[in-house]
A and B are shown apart, each in its own frame.
Chain A
Amino acid sequence: MTIFTRGFSGRGRDNNPDLPPGQYLTEDFPVLSAGPTPEIATEDWQFTISTETKRYSWTWEQFMALPIEEVGTDIHCVTRWSKLGTSWRGVSLDTLFADVDTSYEFTMAHSYGGYTTNVPLEDLLDGKAWIAFEFDGEPLHPEHGGPARLLVPHLYFWKSAKWVRGLEMLPQDEPGFWEQNGYHMYGDPWQEERYW
């Protein structure tokens, strides 16, 4: 049964088919973080993928020598804002996983500052995810996850871990930081998978 709200007509209707249910458009780039913004110098930065047998790692210099892709995409935050047509540059996870050998199907993204979030491996491959270091033609600002963040735009944006430093392969799905604190394990915006 739907209960209508007396006296409410709504004014911000975004009848846009690119907008998932329950989202509204923003022109800003709001921030969702749980603590202070870590400052990481690119000289100190490292990205690793650790599997059941091996650890693969890239320095900033090695990382910047990889093929770089331009990414145009919509992003959707669980706090209900969406931003359409954002532009990024980054390295595809397909590139990073090209020589990685693993039988595990789940990953935990780890960030500088201690943040974690879980993403199934298949959601990171086949052109669906990047490690992004530029937004709108500028180096990614620390507030938005610079020097580099995970970009998994088909899931709610908390999955796109800021200040990412590595991916840990896992044999089964485990909850990350927000997933332990009330957010959904998977987080598909089109299914409104916001909370437990």
Chain B
Amino acid sequence: MGTVESTSTLTPSGRSITVSLPGWPGNIAGQHVDVRLTAPDGYQAVRSYSIASVGPAELVELAVDKLPTGEVSPYLVDDVQPGDMLELRGPLGGWFVWKPEQTGPVQLIAGGSGVVPLVSMVRSHTASGSDAPFRMLYSVRTPDDVFYREELAGSGVQVDYVYTRAVPAGWPTGPGRLTKDRLAASVFPVSETPAFFVCGPTAFVEAVATWLVELGYPAETIKTERFGG
């Protein structure tokens, strides 16, 4: 059981929520939590959210994008206020994680709010002083929809953006979905044997993972996490 410490608007549909959780054991980068909401009549709804923060602190930061037809995300994005109580269970998940003792190159690939667990990996990389080469490819609808843009820019990690619906002024190309050629040009080459973390909507992750295998990256170096239908 935690108390909402603060909230911050990230995008028109996304918000970060920092929850104070006494006794939280800390988490590794990429893990998630279950958030449980309880209505006055006892009805409960639970959904999983990736943790944006990392490490031993008892302050846990979630970043949530609102699904218009969702039940829990609209509450977290529009309604929750500092001082509210939230029930969190976790940290959960031991597969889609990056630990500072991993020294090889890491290629992060995000679709939309799938960037959240990858941000925690960038934060873990920074906090640990890791020398592992990191690079991120971030596909997002419009410049306004980017989560943590300034923090990513200041992290030292090269971030390549793909804008699918609208581009910033002066951008060299028009908006468009990620292609296999663009993917090949924006990630560490096969010779550097990168570890991949791909997170986003199912169709995006499916396309990216298939292309990576076609480009010659071994399937066992590609970890995926998907959301939505």
Residues in chain B near residue A180, CB distance under 8 A: 94
For the complex formed, measure the closest distance between the CB of A158 and the CB atoms of chain B, giving whole angstroms. 12
Q: Which residues of A contact B (CB under 8 A)?
A: 2-13, 22, 24, 26, 28-38, 79-80, 113-114, 143, 177-178, 180-182, 195
Complex alpha-carbon distance, A82 and B84, angstroms: 30
Q: Which residues of B contact A (CB under 8 A)?
A: 1, 37-40, 42-48, 71, 75, 79-81, 84-87, 92-96, 202, 206, 209-210, 212-213, 219-220, 222-224, 226-229
Complex alpha-carbon distance, A6 and B85, angstroms: 8
Complex alpha-carbon distance, A11 and B69, angstroms: 10
A-B contacts, 16 of them at CB < 8 A, read A4-B40, A5-B75, A7-B80, A10-B43, A10-B71, A11-B71, A26-B229, A28-B229, A29-B229, A31-B202, A36-B210, A37-B209, A37-B210, A114-B220, A177-B95, A182-B94
Residues in chain A near residue B87, CB distance under 8 A: 3, 5
Q: Main secondary structure on chain B at its contact with chain A?
A: mixed
Q: Tell which of A6, A31, A35, A80 touches B220, judged by Cβ atoms closer than 8 Å.
A: A35
Q: Main secondary structure on chain A at its contact with chain B?
A: loop
Q: Are B39 and A10 in contact (CB under 8 A)?
A: yes
Q: Tell which of A32, A35, A37 touches B223, judged by Cβ atoms closer than 8 Å.
A: A35
Q: Known contacts A28-B229, A37-B209: does B224 contact A5 (CB below 8 Å)?
A: no
For the complex formed, measure the closest distance between the CB of B47 and the CB atoms of chain A, giving whole angstroms. 7
Complex alpha-carbon distance, A7 and B38, angstroms: 10
Q: Tell which of B47, B92, B220 touches A195, judged by Cβ atoms closer than 8 Å.
A: B92
Q: Tell which of A2, A80, A113 touches B42, judged by Cβ atoms closer than 8 Å.
A: A2
Q: Tell which of A9, A12, A31 touches B226, judged by Cβ atoms closer than 8 Å.
A: A31
Besides A3-B1, A30-B227, A113-B219, 18 new A-B residue pairs in contact (Cβ under 8 A), listed by A number = A2-B42, A3-B38, A4-B39, A5-B37, A5-B85, A8-B38, A10-B71, A12-B45, A22-B44, A33-B224, A34-B96, A35-B220, A35-B222, A36-B222, A37-B209, A177-B95, A182-B93, A182-B95
Residues in chain B near residue A2, CB distance under 8 A: 38, 42
Q: Are A79 and B223 in contact (CB under 8 A)?
A: no
Closest Cβ neighbor of A22 among chain B residues? B46
Smallest CB-CB A-B distances: 4 pairs: A28-B229, A36-B209, A181-B94, A12-B71
Q: Are B39 and A9 in contact (CB under 8 A)?
A: yes
